[in-house]
Chains A and B, each alone.
Chain A
Amino acid sequence: MNNHTEIIPDATPEMKTLFETVKKVSFSTAEKNKQRETLRLYMHTPIPAFIQDDPFNKDTNNSVNYPVLSPFFPQVNFFHSLLTQTRFITFALALVLVVGTGTAFASKNALPGDPLYRVKLNVTEKAETLLSFGSQSQAEIALLHATTRLEEVETLTAQGKLNIRTSTIITKELQPNFKTQADSVTANVANLQSKGQAVVAAEIASNFESFLSSHQVVLVELTQHQENAPIHPSTHTFLRAQSQNEIYNKTQNGVRAGTQNTIQQDTSSLVVASTSVTSTSVSVEVLSSLTGEVGTHLLTTANARASAEGVVAISTDQNKIKESSETALVVSIQKINLASSAVAHAISTIRSTTASSTESEQSISVAQSRISSAKEDVSAGQTYIQTGEYGQAFLLFKKASRTADEVKITLEAIDGIKNIEKKNSKANTGDVPKEDKNLNLNLNTATTTGTSETATTTAIESDPAHSSLITSEPTMIVATSTAVENLNTDSFR
């Protein structure tokens, strides 16, 4: 290729070595393949480069989404333009200011089926994603969103609101969103690792793994309860120790075994096991499908975590790995303490309720045994530290942290579900007149307390004179004043 007739000076052998060394600055095969894929995608994207589905006009009844031109009008790379061109940042900030103060705040606790749920998914969380820069913060925000999705389903199920309408929303919006967020976590973790930030990558993947594995346990349990008692979901108790153990062991074996094949086999059997549960109702089907999705991502995350931890553990930089393992030790002890106090809290909850079942006691003993196994890991890790095998110590501390995290998250999730169910059963047996139920739901009060006292306060707050000030929305006035009338008659009855 080169034209060698040109006169060029000779380089000394040492210089030639130098030039060869410079060539070591290159992309890894993985990086190259990733870039290649991005380019291939870019090549097949029609100009203007980035077309997206219109987030504000998503029609769930009609599966066709009409593409619109992205309002950000990217020139090269959307995220890069965001970073380099200040007007986009201004735009994003303006959006957050306008939407962020009112609606978005109100949408924060929205569940599938609530009017603001779509705002939460498509505006609030999208804005959060757009405003996070760098792989680490993007991974963290995606992790948060993914776990929020799972918690939403759990809350919804516990509230007994899992009906055909909300199920459709879960399948069509929640689950795809969960998948997107989980994929984003995986992608960003891989990115961090390829940039040499294996410690951070391992940390995030490890956290995500704990979340997924704990919520998988909770979801499986909820599914079984839906099957057994689809009418009265509020009667169920703590996790069955047996199933928790079973799932835990399966996942752990798969992850610990290390080889790709074993992991795949194990988790695919897990996925099959959770999806092949005989579906007695739509809700069971929905929950199983979500559990399967969680299982798939759990596998991916466990792989990513193992790979990132492996990179840290075999690092040749002794000081760095020593530092990492010492941090991991401190973190694992903190997490074990947190998990222990969660167990203590669970025990006190059981004692305070009269209906303490053997199931809940079993689940506590499982939690306790897992905490002691985490403690064993920590002390084994400390022995490794003394012998200078920091890599091994790091892996053990991380494992202990994860175990403790899983115990804590699982107990907290169950506790949350139980609380909701308690409130629900109170609301159901409470003295709220039937004809008021609809109204109360609209005003969002009966769902939390269901007593007529709160109804009165609401009635006072939404004074008819005040509501008549709203002139632009005549239907709203009618609705509000009717509501107030109903409330008044009810509360003075």
Chain B
Amino acid sequence: MATLQLQNVCKRYGAVDVIQDLSLAVADGEFIVFVGPSGCGKSTLIRMIAGLEEINSGALLIDGQRMNEVGPADRGLAMVFQSYALYPHMTVRENMSFALRLARVPRAERERKVADVARILHLESYLDHKPGQLSGGQRQRVAIGRAIVRNPRIFLFDEPLSNLDAALRGQMRGELARLHEEIDATMIYVTHDQVEAMTMADRIVVLQAGHVEQVGTPLEIYRRPVNLFVASFMGSPPMNQLPGQIVGSDAAGVRVAVAGNVVVPVAVASQSTKTDNRVTLGVRPEGLRLTSAAAKAGSAASAGPLSGTTHLVERLGSISLVHVDLDQGGRVIAQVGATEDVRPRQQVNLTIDSIHCHVFDQTGLALVPIS
């Protein structure tokens, strides 16, 4: 049980700034997920917290105590590695009790703790196996068990599920969430997979090029991305982006014209008095609706039509994703019901559901929603 604070931490490799002036506070018992594209510094950051990488400047506090100069073992953290990093020459039992052995915990207590953890993780029958005899999912559980046995203040996970197949990944996501519930520990989790981030996190930290782009709950991040990067990175398929212009604004929001003359009212505060600014309209795939080719006038909540030709239909079972080449230029993805009768190379019209819309200015920053 612990809190963690990063205060203006920096990491440089030679002339390259990997982490730049990053600050963050993690509350006790929180499940925090660092997410970002590869090379964004998320792994470096978790390794800095672990003590495996030096912090060049700034401070790392755990429970309010400065930890920069404290060695990895004495920070009271446990880490689960992407490669599991089990000790191949030791049995599962020895793997899990290694830390206790080093800490000179009496044998009986060691045995008891390992047995407890093995029960939680359903590993009792594998205690005398070597890691090489286990499947990927079992190895993963041993790695997690090795972390739990130490009863750490904070758990660190470095892309722990990326070596598992899709079905197992889904199952382990559930188990990790249950584990968090059960032992109520502070957990910091690194992933490039936004589904993992969305499903498990109390709060998500979106990183790019060593910067924090946004910190928030999964729904905040999804519904109110602060900039174009977060908007396009979080969400699958990504948010559609349409170049447009603000053609009017009032107390209810702004009106954005896209694709020629389609005007979409969006409830965001106009950023300045100028109303002729060029902007980007972001629309989630679920905010685009297919309508029949004979389009009717849009209601108050929707605008359109955009018209275009479908070039790909991905049927995912419960929903379908329709890729449309717009007549006005550009390509969008619309999410429709599975039963929708739509085929490739078909002329379609799309209406835009304005509650799923976001407006970004020229620098990529989101205009503030009026709630």
Interaction A to B:
no
